[in-house]
Structure 1
């Protein structure tokens, strides 16, 4: 009886193996080569691939160098020679997370399991059911094939991206080298790619591949496979890639689209199928955009500027019309393959509109007054923070309109201080900025000046949200997908209103920001006439420059399009005195002109729904009979000024005490006739240099007010100095000024400050 059961069990196992083998053979025999074509919105081909499996003669195990085998095993399955198809320890470690999530989020797949997945052509979503199937087949395979045979099959079939299957094709594609000649540097580099061919794409995410390679090198070093000298060489010498040979238009955009498709449908979604993807890109617009960008970069060559990125969005649909990830994808010397539309960089002042947006949502208006005077704030560590303006000057009481239009730093920091860092982060997240993941202490008030890192992709779309009155939708890159002639549904644009229950407030607030950013007159003091932000049609725009000219930006929108431009160097080196207005600005200007050549651009009309209020300057209050300077500004409903100005009297303008040392074009100070005072720095100031000011232009302001004082002397740390010029070196300093008043008495003022 027992023998009968054993016979039946053996028969069942043999039957399963034979059926599985038959299915594999039939599938391989009947499978047709897959093709994929990425098209622009008009059907013009951007890129295409045809799947031609076994393009090269399969390599035998004996031919494969130990550098490849060792690197692959260390990266994918270090216990390969110890298990029978399933690494139970790794599986158990992943099991809890997988069961909790209801899907496979941590694979722990052995090389044998991966081989089963490759042979079966599994393109379905990762699931626990699929995982169990792969484990079952892997166990059978381990009893049919030797370990060497499994490795041979694996290294002949594993996908390395770009339609390359197997180590021989990957070696030829990425390094133009025979696989037998791969050194440790190249072998470890290739070994990490199959783990995630989208994330570890050498042409678009080279740094990510190198980071993963560094992990693998460390593993091999700990196993004594590599010597310290060999490991150091690999870490210090990135391998040189060969250029892709296929014709490709808008390569950064094509990679971006392919990553989206592979993330949603699986990395092998097109294998065995005829796939056509119609994107939103306009090839003609892309080519014109690239031409404009290249001309500007060429003109800035002597300024150490080598890279730029540009993005054009349709305001209503969110469709990507032009996506220039870098000015030259194939420029290896200047890291042209790096996608600067997606790279994270500091935006400088380009972040400011969203800080003021938050304040307007809390009741501020375009005429709210902010004191642009020497100011100190407390950092999370309890030390004072003293921001400086780009022009190293103070502008006294300014309106929100003046402060934002001219990109004054001190008012922006004061606005963030009023709003709160966490509230500012919330608003930025609502408009689509997802990269500010640290807590408020990490960013501090310098967030208003662009200390957080963002991508051109997300920031450009955030500006589009301003034009769309706070209605967020994600950018759209794909119009439709056809697989074997049948259209596949593609959800790519889920909209949600920002500040859900505050429709009127968000429409008011975004309209006021748009009104400021499109006010050419308001920005005249800092940007002058005929700047790259001025057009013959309404455009709302803002520039940004990160510290020491590492990045510069110009972003903005008309009623039809939103444009974002970044200029700098992919590897992060500083430009030579190139700001947003001189670097990215001209590109932005030319792109806007190009987009509106044959289009009648309408005016921003939303602002017309917000009534104007006449205020008195510089107080921001309602004018009295003596007010001589007035301005029409807009305020949210219920937040218009109610008090009447008291600064103007029949005797002229009298400023509040905190403005006594600001010499305004509007008034004279009401200080007593005899005075000696250090205006700047103030006592206990700590100077942390501003992100937007280059080191060679950054100075600590030293201002001394004196009236009816003789024999003035200035001392720094006890030493007499001829002029009020302060050091920038790190340290603690004491500044003292003395003088003689008309009565012969010595007057002294003294402050201590820190440079850090």
Structure 2
């Protein structure tokens, strides 16, 4: 029998030892100080609340906020917290034997109001690993509390409690609660505010200060805390009286509401997660963004208003960005019409790859100037020969054009010829340097169509690249927050080229005939603007910059479906205009006498658009071009190059007719008058230009008359249409159907051949 008893004792000791070891292992695993990362609060550039970037609680699925560390323990907060939560905190090592005994006795005898026995250390253990309130879990909390205190010390336990304690409405930690409820640092809290906040962790739901009942309960417990502090001589009588009076009359301010800018907030979430934006202080993780919330609200409203007008044409989504031209700071971003819109509204279209249409053309022209392939007086051929199957949306060819006109008119053939001259790989690499893509695909995959939108990019990348044009060739990253590290800008385009391209894009006269005057592309102050329309009307773009801002707009569909003749000039440019008017405070009728800075080493000269020569008063069509001294064209005939670029036009009548160009300085002594229509070509098939409203679609009529005569008469369908100088281009409003064009000389019998044209 003694042997059996010995075995039983031994077995019991083994079970006790195993239990003790298991218990020790479990509390050792729990006795680590852990807390979620602090959640930043975002403000706009003027200090208005933007959002909090919270943490998802895996157990409940709710989003929690706070967990801010404390650089120093705030003495008054510590004393208020310990006044009722753990009065003997400095006398025990994690478990208060007196409180445990009192709670056990109350539970045994069924006393009316039961008191808890959880110390600060035990509450930290429970908050780090919440579990059901069973005896086993309570014993684990007690052991963990003791080990935590022994391992880290009392000060660390207080700091951890004040970081983790729940203060209602998703807020954790006194520092975050102080910002959330009173918008001040914890060091600036009054005794009344400290008492109120210190009361909440006992029961955050019951004492929710934003509800009348919860505020009443929190105030009652706050008075108890103030009484305890007065009794402990922490406060004198006058301080206590003032605190009680302030607490009794306390009214909680409304919590700041997140604005209607979910895509923007998600952008900041990603910037923070990727380490691109970080708070200046870990203990007060406040991020001051560059966003102007008033402008953000206005741009959002404008985007929705304009999109509603275009929904009947198949448009479903919109993306808008506004960036400060001087600083690169993002002032507003609209990712879609509405995050919850059933038409793929959850996509952020400022970060979605789309076909950019013609918005890449300015960079191709810039590269042409940089590499010496192009000069402002070169003539680019917009002709069917050598077009490689690429045409314009209007199915028309405008003949020789200055680079200023070719870019401002967004002609496809000159751009693709220029791309061919520069080289596919060189252009592809340059666009990568601008940040417009990060593809490793061979340049040949996109080919010449790179110039008209086959290379996909994003609105935010276009904004950054257009910033280089707007800021004299200096490329810099977009800035989203004042705490964001800002690397040095990098020169990617010379100042001379950047200003030259800006002058092209801001010249309303150079946009004729493709874009009419005083429409969506023209402003009462200098604005450089480029539109784009992708194949099948899937994307409509407009990129513009003024003295103050860079604005980009994309219009399209989330499913990449086609729209009904929605163009960049007819849609996106109108929204850009409204946004720039909002930024500048522009009113109808306002006119500003200003211009963009000009290239410093260039002089303005009148250049003939017919041949690229400086005007000698014999040319009736000129543009102002900025030329260097060595770029003044020489009056010599040079042959046409296979890349579609003419260094000057032939000046003899015979050579001129062979090229199909009209000349203004032919020999008038020849009695035989040659008269012909050079544009349009015989049996041309013409479509309306989708980049323009139907009312402004016009066909350029050009004559070839040798020698020069004072006047000619244009006939359309047998009826006189216009009397004009033969060197002047006439514009006929396009009408559907078959039409016949002819030129006659006043008071003479000479007529041109009839040129039939078919318009669809």
TM-score by length of structure 2 reads 0.54
CA distance in 2, matches of 1:544, 1:57: 44
With over 3 angstroms needed to count, the CA separation of the structure-2 counterparts of 1:598 and 1:424, relative to structure 1, is same
- The C-alpha deviation readout for 1:295-323, integer Å capped at 9, x for no partner, is 11111121111110000111121110000
For the pair 1:422 / 2:416, whether they are aligned, the reply is no
- The C-alpha deviation readout for 1:340-396, integer Å capped at 9, x for no partner, is 00101111111111111111113323332112111236xxxxxxx221122211111
Query: 1:607-646, aligned counterparts within 5 Å?
Result: 607=599, 609-622=601-614, 630-635=622-627, 638-644=630-636
Q: Give 2:368's match in structure 1, choosing from 356, 359, 363.
A: 359
Aligned residue for 1:530, secondary structure, equals coil
Aligned to 1:255: 266
Query: 1:500-539, aligned counterparts within 5 Å?
Result: 506-539=494-527
CA distance in 1, matches of 2:400, 2:40: 61
Query: 1:258-273, aligned counterparts within 5 Å?
Result: 258-264=269-275
For the pair 1:305 / 2:303, whether they are aligned, the reply is no
Query: 1:736-747, aligned counterparts within 5 Å?
Result: none
For the pair 1:36 / 2:40, whether they are aligned, the reply is yes
For the pair 1:593 / 2:593, whether they are aligned, the reply is no
With over 3 angstroms needed to count, the CA separation of the structure-2 counterparts of 1:521 and 1:52, relative to structure 1, is closer
CA distance in 2, matches of 1:247, 1:598: 30
Aligned to 2:52: 48
Is the CA contact 2:323–2:551 (under 8 Å) kept in the aligned structure 1?
yes
- The C-alpha deviation readout for 1:3-53, integer Å capped at 9, x for no partner, is xxxxxxxxxxx999968963643414xx47843322221222222255585
For the pair 1:328 / 2:338, whether they are aligned, the reply is yes
With over 3 angstroms needed to count, the CA separation of the structure-2 counterparts of 1:265 and 1:405, relative to structure 1, is closer
Is the CA contact 1:47–1:249 (under 8 Å) kept in the aligned structure 2?
no
Aligned to 1:495: 489
Aligned residue for 1:463, secondary structure, equals helix
Aligned to 1:368: 378
CA distance in 1, matches of 2:528, 2:277: 40
Computed over aligned residues only, the root mean square deviation of the Cα atoms, in angstroms, reads 4.7
Aligned to 1:22: 28
Deviation at 1:255, TM superposition (A): 1.0
- More displaced, 536-545 or 431-440? 431-440
Is the CA contact 1:565–1:588 (under 8 Å) kept in the aligned structure 2?
yes
With over 3 angstroms needed to count, the CA separation of the structure-2 counterparts of 1:33 and 1:674, relative to structure 1, is closer
Aligned residue for 1:516, secondary structure, equals helix
CA distance in 1, matches of 2:307, 2:313: 9
- More displaced, 513-522 or 359-368? 359-368
Q: Give 1:477's match in structure 2, choosing from 475, 480, 502.
A: 480
For the pair 1:412 / 2:415, whether they are aligned, the reply is yes
TM-score by length of structure 1 reads 0.55
Aligned to 1:393: 396
With over 3 angstroms needed to count, the CA separation of the structure-2 counterparts of 1:577 and 1:45, relative to structure 1, is same
Aligned to 2:175: none
- The C-alpha deviation readout for 1:399-448, integer Å capped at 9, x for no partner, is 01111111111111111111112222233223321245421211111111
For the pair 1:551 / 2:539, whether they are aligned, the reply is yes
CA distance in 2, matches of 1:666, 1:373: 23
Is the CA contact 1:278–1:479 (under 8 Å) kept in the aligned structure 2?
yes
CA distance in 2, matches of 1:635, 1:615: 10
Deviation at 1:672, TM superposition (A): 9.9
CA distance in 1, matches of 2:27, 2:689: 64
Aligned to 1:712: none
Q: Which runs of 5+ in 1 are unaligned?
A: 1-13, 59-118, 121-162, 164-245, 378-384, 481-489, 500-505, 695-700, 706-723, 726-756
For the pair 1:282 / 2:267, whether they are aligned, the reply is no
Is the CA contact 1:435–1:453 (under 8 Å) kept in the aligned structure 2?
no
With over 3 angstroms needed to count, the CA separation of the structure-2 counterparts of 1:649 and 1:54, relative to structure 1, is closer
CA distance in 2, matches of 1:400, 1:510: 14
Aligned to 1:735: none
Is the CA contact 1:624–1:645 (under 8 Å) kept in the aligned structure 2?
no
CA distance in 1, matches of 2:689, 2:347: 24
Aligned residue for 2:499, secondary structure, equals helix
Aligned to 1:659: 659
Aligned residue for 2:338, secondary structure, equals coil
Deviation at 1:640, TM superposition (A): 3.6
With over 3 angstroms needed to count, the CA separation of the structure-2 counterparts of 1:259 and 1:449, relative to structure 1, is same
Deviation at 1:514, TM superposition (A): 0.5
With over 3 angstroms needed to count, the CA separation of the structure-2 counterparts of 1:279 and 1:373, relative to structure 1, is same
Aligned to 1:346: 355
Is the CA contact 1:358–1:424 (under 8 Å) kept in the aligned structure 2?
yes
Aligned residue for 1:260, secondary structure, equals helix
CA distance in 2, matches of 1:51, 1:680: 70
Is the CA contact 2:570–2:691 (under 8 Å) kept in the aligned structure 1?
no
Q: Give 2:448's match in structure 1, choosing from 445, 449, 452.
A: 445
Q: How many residues align?
A: 472
Deviation at 1:655, TM superposition (A): 4.5
CA distance in 1, matches of 2:665, 2:547: 37
Aligned to 2:325: 315
Is the CA contact 1:474–1:493 (under 8 Å) kept in the aligned structure 2?
yes
Q: Which runs of 5+ in 2 are unaligned?
A: 1-19, 63-127, 130-169, 171-256, 639-647, 693-698, 704-736, 739-760
Is the CA contact 1:469–1:507 (under 8 Å) kept in the aligned structure 2?
yes
Aligned residue for 1:425, secondary structure, equals helix
- The C-alpha deviation readout for 1:493-548, integer Å capped at 9, x for no partner, is 4421115xxxxxx1111111100100011113111122111110000001000011
Deviation at 1:451, TM superposition (A): 1.0
Higher RCO by CA contacts (8 Å cutoff, separation 6 or greater): 1
With over 3 angstroms needed to count, the CA separation of the structure-2 counterparts of 1:606 and 1:445, relative to structure 1, is same
Aligned residue for 2:625, secondary structure, equals strand
Aligned to 2:87: none
Deviation at 1:275, TM superposition (A): 2.8
